Structure 1
Amino acid sequence: MTTQETSRADGRPVYVAAAVCAIGALLFGYDTGVISGALLYLKGPLGIADNAFMQGVVTSALLVGAMVGALLGGSLAARLGRRPMTLVVAVVFAVGSLAAALTPDVTTLVVARFVIGLGVGLTSVVVPMYLSEISPTRIRGTLSSLYQFSISVGLLLSYSVNYLLSPWGAWRWMLGLAVIPAVALFVGMLFMPETPRWLASHNRTEQARRVLRRTHRPEEIEQAQAEISAAERQSREQAGWRDLTSPWIRPALKIGLGLAVLQQFVGINTVMYYAPTTLTELGMGNSASIAAQVGIGVIGMLATLVAVRYTDRLGRKRLLLAGSVGMSVSLTVLGVLTLFVGASGTAIGVITIVCLTAYISSFGATWGPVVWVMLPELYPLRIRGPAEGLATWSNWASNFLVSLVFPVLLVGVGQAVSMLLLAVFCVVSFFFVHSFVPETTGRSLENLEEEVTTSNPRSPSRGS
Structure 2
Amino acid sequence: MPTSSHSHQATIKRAFLYKVSFIAGLGGFLYGFDMGIIAAALIYVRESFALSTRMEEWVVSSVLVGAMAGALAGGYIADHAGRRFTLLLGGLIFVLGSLLAFAAPNVWILIGSRVLLGLAIGFTSVTAPVYVSELAPPETRGMLIGLYQFALTVGIAVADLTGYLLASHHAWRSMFGLGAVPALVFLTLLLTLPESPRWLFSQGRTAEARAVFASFTDEAGTELLIEDIRIALEAKIEKRWSALWSRPVRLSLLIAVGFTILQQVTGINTIIYYGPRIFTMAGITSNENAIFATLLVASTNVVATVIALVLVDRVGRKPLLYWGVGGMTLSLFLLAYSFHAPTAFGARPGAIALLCLMLYIICFAFSMGPIAWILASEVFPLQIRGRGMAAATLGSGASNFLVSITFLTLITTAGSSLTFLLYAAFCIVTLLFVRFIVPETKGRALESISSQRSAVSL
Paired position in structure 2 for 1:374: 375
**Alpha-carbon offset, residue 278 of structure 1:** 3.8
CA–CA distance in structure 2, aligned partners of residues 121 and 335 of structure 1: 32
Contact 1:14 1:134 in 2 (8 A): yes
Structure 2 match to 1:262: 262
Matched, 1:138 2:139: yes
Sort the Cα spacing of 1:336 and 1:216 in 2 relative to 1 into closer, same or farther, 3 A: farther
Shift of the 218–347 alpha-carbon distance from structure 1 to 2, 3 Å rule, reads: farther
3-state SS of paired residue (1:137)? coil
Aligned positions of 1:28-47 closer than 5 A: 28-45=31-48
Q: Which residue in the other structure is 1:174 paired with? A: 175
Residue 39 of structure 2 contacts residue 276 of structure 2 at CA under 8 Å; is this kept in 1? Answer: no
Contact 1:212–1:221 at 8 Å: present in 2 too?
yes
Following superposition, the deviation at residue 54 of structure 1 comes to: 3.4
Deviates most, 113-122 or 198-207: 198-207
In structure 1, distance between residues paired with 2:279 and 2:457: 51
Distance 1:127 1:113 in 2: 21
d(CA) in 2 for partners of 1:299 and 1:42? 26
> Contact 1:30 / 1:154 at 8 angstroms: preserved in 2?
yes
1:197 CA displacement: 1.0
Distance in 2, Cα, partners of 1:223 & 1:152: 36
Q: Identity of aligned pairs, percent?
A: 38
1:215-270 residue CA offsets vs partner (Å, 9 max, x unmatched): 35788555423323235545x74321122222222211111121011001111112
Give the stretch that moved more between structures: 267-276 or 156-165.
267-276
Query: Counterparts of 1:17-36 in structure 2 under 5 Å?
Result: 17-36=20-39
**3-state SS of paired residue (1:101):** helix
Q: Counterpart in 1 of 2:363?
A: 362
Q: Does 1:305 align with 2:292?
A: no
- Tell me how far 1:108 sits from its aligned partner: 2.0
What is the one-letter code of the residue matched to 2:187?
A: F
Contact between 1:152 and 1:297, CA under 8 Å: does it hold in 2?
Answer: yes
The aligned amino acid for 2:62 is A
Q: Using the alignment, how far apart are the partners of 1:113 and 1:145 within structure 2?
A: 26
The count of residues paired between Structure 1 and Structure 2 equals 447
Q: How many angstroms does 1:64 deviate by? A: 0.8
Gaps of 5+ in 2: 1-10
Following superposition, the deviation at residue 303 of structure 1 comes to 1.0
Q: Which residue of 1 aligns with 2:8?
A: none
Q: 1:447 to 1:172 in 2, by over 3 A?
A: same
Superposed CA offset, 1:284-308 (max 9, x none): 4313212101101101111111111
Residue identity opposite 1:319 in structure 2: L
Contact 1:10-1:217 within 8 A present in 2 as well: no
Q: Secondary structure at the match of 2:13?
A: coil
Q: Which residue of 2 aligns with 1:290?
A: 291
Looking at structure 1, the residues matched to 111 and 178 of structure 2 have their Cα atoms a distance apart, in angstroms, of 18
After TM superposition, the structure 1 = structure 2 runs for residues 88-167 of structure 1, keeping only pairs within 5 Å, are: 88-167=89-168
CA gap of 1:456–1:102, structure 2 versus 1, over 3 A, is: closer
Pairing of 1:383-462 with structure 2 (within 5 A): 383-456=384-457
Distance of 1:360 and 1:78 partners within structure 2:
34
The Cα of 1:333 is off from its aligned counterpart by 2.5
Alpha-carbon distance in structure 2 between the residues aligned to 1:453 and 1:249: 6
Cα deviation digits, residues 110-130 of structure 1 (max 9, x gap): 221111110011121111111
1:107-159 Cα offsets, whole Å, 9 max, x none, are 22222111111001112111111121121222111110011111111111111
Quick one: structure 1 residues 410 and 104, their matched pair in 2 at CA, closer, same or farther if it must change by over 3 Å? closer
Per-residue CA deviation, residues 29-88 of structure 1 (Å, 9 max, x unaligned), is 11111122223334455xx21544433332222111111111111111000000010000
For residues 283 and 52 of structure 2, the distance between their equivalents in structure 1, rounded to whole angstroms, comes to 27
Secondary structure of 1:441's aligned partner: coil
**Conserved in 2, the CA contact under 8 Å of 1:70 and 1:393?**
yes
Contact map agreement 1:265 1:425 (CA 8 A) in 2: yes
Q: 2:36 corresponds to which letter in structure 1?
A: G
In structure 2, the CA distance between the partners of 1:237 and 1:258, relative to structure 1 (3 Å rule), is closer
Aligned counterparts of 1:98 and 1:70: Cα–Cα separation in 2? 22
Quick one: structure 1 residues 423 and 85, their matched pair in 2 at CA, closer, same or farther if it must change by over 3 Å?
Answer: same
Is it true that 1:12 corresponds to 2:19 in the alignment?
Answer: no
Report deviation, 1:399. Answer: 0.8
1:408-440 CA distances to partner (integer Å, 9 max, x unpaired)? 322233222222221111111011111011111
Q: Is the 8 A contact 2:58 2:405 kept in 1?
A: no
Normalising by the residue count of structure 2, what TM-score does the alignment of the two structures yield? 0.91
Per the alignment, residue 213 of structure 2 pairs with 212
Q: Give the corresponding residue for 1:249.
A: 249
Q: CA deviation at 1:383?
A: 1.8
Q: In the alignment, what sits opposite 2:191? A: 190
What is the TM-score of this pair, normalised by structure 1?
0.90
Amino acid at match of 1:252: S
- Quote how far apart the aligned CAs of 1:349 are: 4.8
**Structure with the largest fraction of helix:** 1
Aligned AA (1:168): H
Distance (whole Å) between structure 2 residues aligned to residue 420 and residue 195 of structure 1: 43
Matched AA of 1:162: G
Structure 1 position 334, deviation (Å): 2.6
Corresponding letter in the other structure for 2:241: W
When residues 136 and 220 of structure 1 are mapped into structure 2, their CA distance, relative to the original with a 3 A threshold, is: farther
Paired residues of 2:68 and 2:398 also in contact (CA < 8 A): yes
Distance in 2 (alpha carbons) for counterparts of 1:358 and 1:393: 28
Paired with 2:281 and 2:406, the residues of 1 have a C-alpha distance of: 21
Give secondary structure in 1 for the equivalent of 2:314: helix
Is the alpha carbon distance of 1:351 and 1:35 closer, same or farther for their aligned partners in structure 2, counting shifts above 3 Å?
closer
Equivalent residue for 1:3? none
Report the CA distance shift for 1:191/1:347 in structure 2 as closer, same or farther (over 3 A): same
Contact 1:202 1:232 in 2 (8 A): no
Deviates more, 1:402-411 or 1:218-227: 218-227
SS where residue 379 of structure 1 aligns? coil
Q: Supply the distance in 1 between the matched residues of 2:320 and 2:158 (Cα, whole angstroms).
A: 26
